[in-house]
Structure 1
Amino acid sequence: MSTLVPVWLAGPASTITGLHSGDDPAQLRFRTWAQVRDDATELAAGLAHAGIGRGDVVAVLAGDPGDVADLVQAIWMRGASFTMLHQPTPRTDLQVWLDETREVIAMLGATALVAGDPFAQPLADAGMDVGTRFIPVAALAGHDAVPLVDIEAPDTAILQLTSGSTGTPKAVAITFDNVAHNHAAMLASVEPTGRDVAVSWLPLYHDMGLIGLLLMPMLEQADAVITTPLAFLRKPESWAELITRFGGTCTAAPNFAYAVLAKRLRRAPDGAYDLSSLRVAINGAEPIDEKSVELFVRAGARFGLRPEAMMPSYGMAETTLAVSFDSQHTRFAVDTIDAHAAEADGSVVRVGESVRTHVRLGRPVPGIEVRIVDDEKAELPVDRIGTVLVRGGAVTSRYLTPTGFCSAVDERGWLDTGDLGYRTGAGEIVVAGRKKDIIIVSGRNLSPTVIERAAGTVEGIRAGNAAAIAIRRRDGREGIAVVAESDVAHDSAQVSRIHDEVARAVFDVVGVPVSAVTLIGRGELPKTPSGKIRRHCAADLVVAG
């Protein structure tokens, strides 16, 4: 039997701490964890009435974090697993979303799709065929309580959809044992105080928001304050307001969000916020730009933010969440290395004329092993760039694809992350890029992230909305193309200026000319549901341009 979730479900829930949730940060609903447990017990009875039992898969579509918390517990009470579906946004083409959702549900073999606010009623009114039984959350009420279903450690707890760059669905099979190992590792890394308050606006269909900021405080019965991504997009400073109002101690977000909040903090009057309670601010899920981190730390200092609160991290759905965390007791560290040496043979040399910077992502969390290997899988020494492999109790053993389950690890349990990186002499992990995205020009391995950051310094380019990809030039050689969003993409004079400045900025950083610059409008850059750039799709825009 799993030693974490069944014990937690069968044990008493807190009548003091609980969940503050809702779409409007000014009017969050509070329920103690005991009240959440009571509501989940009622939903579990409804799921039992609907025939949901051990081994079944339930697809969940809910925007209200309170609904998600209830459903996670209810589904686990039935011994089933759940998948958080990607949610449509106001910009989403609903027919495309429906087609993709049916494809995902078919892959999952989902017994039902359970929908909460704000999706249940529109889907019911439209009578959409979602590819399986459709059950509104409200329809699960009114049934007699049922006993807990036994859970075993190898049982699947979550089928987490990946945020990969292709349109083909794939889910990471996370077991209850994986959850328990990740939980223990994160506790050891963030060192809970017993008075922690987690604050989040992250999407709950992404592992950082779901596992890091809902499941972690829920399993620990710590206070959690969770609003929605839409609330952050409407008013980014609401994040700081919630930390101030509730005395938030832990939060997390991708790098871009800290950059956005830093701009709001810089414009805010003295005393507008109190960030002194924040002791852990995890930064992960995308490449970390040290300039953005530095801006956030400096802007937050005026409101009591301690610089050591910023915690760069490395993680992925395949490891349930955490691979490495930087220390919360020291200021984040940056490696400055010679770009030419790194691009030529993967050497990490900390002197040189052409520099590249990487944020150190801390040491592996307890229970996770990390190896850096070359193309022949031979282990590399410290300060040599290679492929990052991970192994441990929190690492999944398999994926679910449209053709069924397949192994995620090799015969020794090592998972190939697809990331390039190295280890420092102090044992810290540094990620240098995605292996499949590396652009090879004249024998040099160029990181698209470095090129994208350079392009992003040009006025008129929307920050965080540039993609660098390899293209084949007319002479048959490899070249660099940049596709970027701009609010002046239809102004020919501005386009000409931006083209020249992007080419100059990129050349100044990597010493290689840009072969093509394509400007597109706001919101047109292809991205995954979790916000990562789909570079292979962006390449199609260069061809079309």
Structure 2
Amino acid sequence: LEVDLGLGSLERLELVRRLEERLGRPVDEQAVFTARQVSELLSQSQARQSQQKTLVSGRQMPARPLQSQTLLEALVYQAEQQPDQTALVLLDGDGEAAAPSYSELVAQARRLGAGLLALGVRPGERVAIMLPTSLDFFTVFYGCLWIGAVAVPLYPPMRLDQAEDFILRQDAILQNSGARVLVTLPALGPMAELLRRRSSLHTITSPRKLAGAGVAPMADLDDQSLAFVQYTSGSTGKPKGVPLTHRNLLTNIWDIGTGFAMGCNDVMVSWLPLYHDMGLIGTSLGSFSHGLPLVVMGPEKFLGRPARWLRAFSDYRGTMTAAPNFAYAICAHKLKDEELQGLDLSSWRIALNGAEPILAETTRAFVERFEPYGFRPGTMFPAYGLAEATLAVSFNPIGRGTRVEQLLLTSDGRLEAGQDSFVSSGLPLENMQVRIVDASGAALPERRQGRVEVAGDSVMAGYFGEPRRQGRWHDTGDLGFMLEGELFLTGRQKDLIIVAGRNLHPHDIEASVATLDGVRPGCVVAFGVDHEGSQRLVVLAEAREGHRDLAEAIRAQVQQVVGLAAEVVVLAPRTLPKTPSGKVRRAESRQRYLENGLRPPRLSGKWLARAGLAWLEGSLPRLSWAARSAYSWGCALACWGELKLGQPLERAVPRLFGRLGIEIEVRGCPAAAANLCVVANHASLLDPLLLLAAWPELRFVMAESGARHPLLRGLVDHHILVRRGLGEADQALAQMTSALRSGACMAVFPEGGIEAAPGLRSFATGAFRATAASGARLQPVAIAGSRELMPQGQWVPARGR
């Protein structure tokens, strides 16, 4: 649906809605894509029962553990003060999957920590965690902290067509972090095994395997101990590691508690991914450290049915949340009134909006839509933060709502009265300093745009594995201005587009184009490219199916917004590269545009095959005969798949034979693989593989019937086929002669097909005639032993030489 028709998460949401309208009852959004019949869909879709659940009634919130030096001490304090209080509620669809108390969370963390110790993990060593939103994630994360290890959260693979991007980016993270252990689910074993072979990983394990090793003593840590490394999503380049100490984290967490005015009646609700700083630190670690219940669901649950997020506030009397602007936009514009029946949002008091540009129209629309359900305008809470500052930098005053200023930003960075809307990100936190500087680093006064710099105890000292920052101020790369002590953001320095002396911020253009009918939400990017000493404006936009004639409408929209002509490129769905959190990679999009490399991703068979082979090879000693047979054929077929994708097999084929227990000995010196025709005896289906071990560049000439064999079918692109019929042999001979003249390396089995009886058969003369006609060289090869390893009629090769 998404690859072929461009039906993204919003369109799939609409599809589910229409099905519910036709069927007259709610349906499960996952069952829509798995059920084969309507009856099966209905049986898997249970009617939702709305029911309020009390998490905080009548309890006394313990004092904030300000004396705690580490996240662990803060968690243990909560377990001692309120051992039976629910720490988190994990929502699985419309029901609860788990609801552990603080004492249970600590106990499980101790067990997981013991399992890591048993693997040889020592304090300070990095442990990668690739788990979805689950109780396992939290227990493994705190288990790492319990023994003094450094957690490295990784995002799980989201989609098969992004397998290559996933492997390359996670490999870069693992190489940078030096993690030796990866904790993941068995279902992710193939991808994990491939990552192990490419990086410093030594061990892959699962939460279940770690849980049976007793309990571990708590490590002796202080506030300067490294807690975990948070990797940026890479929307502006290669992911970088942000090393966060316990002091960094607790300083920011206590400031967040002050900014939120957290109290005993508060309940945090979140769907944010746990590999993201706002989801892990802001909603999860912050809740645990303050002793507040956390109601959490995976991002896929929110995207599948956004009303679940709002229902969680109603059901659990949620009071606080954090989410990017697009989440509020979806709820404001995409939900139907029928989904909101009985909704009560009167308990909600903090709706933090951050992590991406905040649109005044979105905040206004959300308030208007949900005021009838008890949502108060003052609940809207714009904020600013970044991973390099742990998380939060500035907060809106509680209860004020969204502050919007109508101004004009001049080309020299000054602010005047105007009609452009700028949303305030609030005041700096208690232990955070913010300033605006010009290109030389000099501080600017209010109402002047410049680069945003931050300083404070929660700001990192430098990226992981890189030199420490010089000076106390960290350059965020963002542009903004101060007004009455509050921070207003205008964009990012590296994204600024300068056309005819005018400074243009791409987000304003992108937001305007995204309103056009037929443009996919979140799939627009604008940037500048060098042109005659200035820049020209380029806009890329993905179109929904049936809306490819959008270029003129986009040009008109850009002309209306910024008064400039733009080069517009309309793209197929899923062409623009994105980060795991869904942000368009602007720099990478620009580079692909310049290299004419904007194409939709395809299912990466190469990387999936590599992942499968890597996992199977590690499991081979434990497999049964039947499984080894399947493995043997899987290896061969995957190997052909690599060749079909144009991948070199200089290392793949010898490794494959090595894994199968087959030893190859090459006697003599193979001729250079150019203008060469290799002729060999043919006794087994292994023979083409054996020749490829010596000449990876070979192309084969064989009968059409042989090329259809399952083992050889993947080589079709490398064949010259000899078909039956008048003149077909002459045509194949002409193709082979032409290929040899162009410098190809050809392989021919002059005997034709294989037979069970030993000995040579009569040779066909085609190879000799083509060699003579082309002036190429002829290389006779004798293959010995292949018939014994895999004779005709046998499907599994034996071990041997």
Same fold (TM over 0.5): yes
Q: 2:180 aligns with which of 105, 111, 114?
A: 111
Q: Does 1:422 align with 2:486?
A: no
Question: What SS does structure 1 have at the residue aligned with 2:95?
Answer: helix
Counterpart for residue 410 of structure 1: 470
- Kindly provide the amino acid, as one letter, of the partner of residue 357 in structure 1: S
- Please state how far the C-alpha of 1:245 moved relative to its aligned partner: 1.1
Deviations, residues 40-87 of structure 1 (Å, cap 9, x unaligned): 111111111112221111110111331121112111111111111022
CA contact (8 A) 2:237 2:587 kept: no
**Distance change >3 Å, CA 513–CA 343, structure 1 → 2:** farther
Q: Does 1:42 align with 2:111?
A: yes
CA contact (8 A) 1:518 1:542 kept: no
Alignment partners' CA distance in 2, 1:419 and 1:367: 20
Q: Does 1:522 align with 2:564?
A: no
CA contact (8 A) 1:23 1:64 kept: no
Identity percentage of aligned residues: 34
- Please state how far the C-alpha of 1:266 moved relative to its aligned partner: 5.2
Alignment partners' CA distance in 2, 1:93 and 1:456: 24
- Please state how far the C-alpha of 1:467 moved relative to its aligned partner: 0.5
Counterpart for residue 191 of structure 1: 261
- Please state how far the C-alpha of 1:166 moved relative to its aligned partner: 4.8
**Distance change >3 Å, CA 189–CA 126, structure 1 → 2:** closer
- Please state how far the C-alpha of 1:460 moved relative to its aligned partner: 1.1
CA contact (8 A) 1:2 1:176 kept: no
- Kindly provide the amino acid, as one letter, of the partner of residue 162 in structure 2: D
CA contact (8 A) 1:466 1:484 kept: yes
- Please state how far the C-alpha of 1:335 moved relative to its aligned partner: 1.4
CA contact (8 A) 1:419 1:434 kept: yes
Q: 1:485 aligns with which of 531, 542, 548?
A: 542
CA contact (8 A) 1:420 1:431 kept: yes
Q: Does 1:535 align with 2:591?
A: no
Q: Does 1:440 align with 2:440?
A: no
Q: 1:495 aligns with which of 527, 532, 548?
A: 548
**Distance change >3 Å, CA 186–CA 74, structure 1 → 2:** same
- Please state how far the C-alpha of 1:267 moved relative to its aligned partner: 3.5
- Please state how far the C-alpha of 1:17 moved relative to its aligned partner: 2.5
- Please state how far the C-alpha of 1:98 moved relative to its aligned partner: 2.6
1:63-212 counterparts in 2 under 5 A? 63-115=132-184, 119-123=185-189, 127-130=193-196, 131=199, 132=201, 133-212=203-282
Alignment partners' CA distance in 1, 2:68 and 2:534: 55
Alignment partners' CA distance in 2, 1:307 and 1:529: 31
CA contact (8 A) 1:200 1:227 kept: yes
CA contact (8 A) 1:25 1:231 kept: no
Alignment partners' CA distance in 2, 1:540 and 1:37: 47
Alignment partners' CA distance in 2, 1:158 and 1:439: 36
1:378-389 counterparts in 2 under 5 A? 378-389=442-453
Q: 1:462 aligns with which of 517, 520, 537?
A: 520
- Which shows bigger deviation, 215-224 or 85-94? 85-94
Alignment partners' CA distance in 2, 1:127 and 1:500: 48
- Please state how far the C-alpha of 1:92 moved relative to its aligned partner: 4.3
Alignment partners' CA distance in 2, 1:78 and 1:22: 29
**Distance change >3 Å, CA 521–CA 470, structure 1 → 2:** same
Unaligned runs of 5+ in 1: none
Unaligned runs of 5+ in 2: 1-66, 599-801
Alignment partners' CA distance in 1, 2:283 and 2:340: 29
Which of the pair is proportionally richer in strand? 1
**Distance change >3 Å, CA 458–CA 264, structure 1 → 2:** closer
- Please state how far the C-alpha of 1:19 moved relative to its aligned partner: 0.9
- Kindly provide the amino acid, as one letter, of the partner of residue 518 in structure 2: G
Alignment partners' CA distance in 1, 2:526 and 2:191: 43
Deviations, residues 167-212 of structure 1 (Å, cap 9, x unaligned): 5231101111101110111011000121211111111110000101
Alignment partners' CA distance in 1, 2:90 and 2:234: 29
Q: 2:440 aligns with which of 376, 379, 394?
A: 376
- Please state how far the C-alpha of 1:2 moved relative to its aligned partner: 6.4
CA contact (8 A) 1:22 1:66 kept: no
Question: What SS does structure 1 have at the residue aligned with 2:321?
Answer: strand
How many residue pairs are counted as aligned between the two chains?
Answer: 523
- Please state how far the C-alpha of 1:509 moved relative to its aligned partner: 1.5
**Distance change >3 Å, CA 368–CA 530, structure 1 → 2:** same
CA contact (8 A) 1:370 1:390 kept: yes
Alignment partners' CA distance in 1, 2:387 and 2:344: 32
CA contact (8 A) 1:189 1:325 kept: yes
Q: Does 1:366 align with 2:430?
A: yes
**Distance change >3 Å, CA 2–CA 153, structure 1 → 2:** farther
**Distance change >3 Å, CA 79–CA 461, structure 1 → 2:** same
- Please state how far the C-alpha of 1:126 moved relative to its aligned partner: 8.0
Q: 1:263 aligns with which of 322, 329, 333?
A: 333
**Distance change >3 Å, CA 509–CA 185, structure 1 → 2:** same
CA contact (8 A) 1:361 1:428 kept: yes
Alignment partners' CA distance in 2, 1:463 and 1:125: 30
Counterpart for residue 346 of structure 1: 413
Alignment partners' CA distance in 2, 1:182 and 1:296: 28
Counterpart for residue 16 of structure 1: 85
- Which shows bigger deviation, 214-223 or 163-172? 163-172
- Which shows bigger deviation, 533-542 or 140-149? 533-542
**Distance change >3 Å, CA 380–CA 96, structure 1 → 2:** closer
Counterpart for residue 244 of structure 1: 314
Q: Which one has more relative contact order, counting CA pairs under 8 Å at least 6 apart?
A: 1
Alignment partners' CA distance in 1, 2:237 and 2:535: 26
**Distance change >3 Å, CA 255–CA 12, structure 1 → 2:** closer
Question: What SS does structure 1 have at the residue aligned with 2:229?
Answer: strand
- Please state how far the C-alpha of 1:522 moved relative to its aligned partner: 2.8
Question: What SS does structure 1 have at the residue aligned with 2:289?
Answer: helix
**Distance change >3 Å, CA 12–CA 435, structure 1 → 2:** closer
CA contact (8 A) 2:514 2:524 kept: yes
**Distance change >3 Å, CA 99–CA 446, structure 1 → 2:** closer
CA contact (8 A) 1:265 1:300 kept: no
Counterpart for residue 73 of structure 2: 7
Alignment partners' CA distance in 2, 1:334 and 1:56: 46
Question: What SS does structure 2 have at the residue aligned with 1:28?
Answer: strand
Alignment partners' CA distance in 2, 1:360 and 1:53: 45
- Kindly provide the amino acid, as one letter, of the partner of residue 574 in structure 2: G
- Kindly provide the amino acid, as one letter, of the partner of residue 495 in structure 1: R
Question: What SS does structure 1 have at the residue aligned with 2:99?
Answer: strand
| TM-score, normalised with respect to structure 2 | 0.63
Question: What SS does structure 2 have at the residue aligned with 1:500?
Answer: helix
Alignment partners' CA distance in 2, 1:226 and 1:185: 22
1:213-252 counterparts in 2 under 5 A? 213-252=283-322
- Which shows bigger deviation, 271-280 or 207-216? 271-280
Q: 2:461 aligns with which of 390, 397, 401?
A: 397
Alignment partners' CA distance in 2, 1:2 and 1:399: 26
**Distance change >3 Å, CA 254–CA 519, structure 1 → 2:** same
- Kindly provide the amino acid, as one letter, of the partner of residue 266 in structure 2: D
TM-align CA RMSD: 2.0
Alignment partners' CA distance in 2, 1:317 and 1:441: 31
**Distance change >3 Å, CA 523–CA 41, structure 1 → 2:** same
- Kindly provide the amino acid, as one letter, of the partner of residue 509 in structure 1: V
Question: What SS does structure 2 have at the residue aligned with 1:302?
Answer: helix
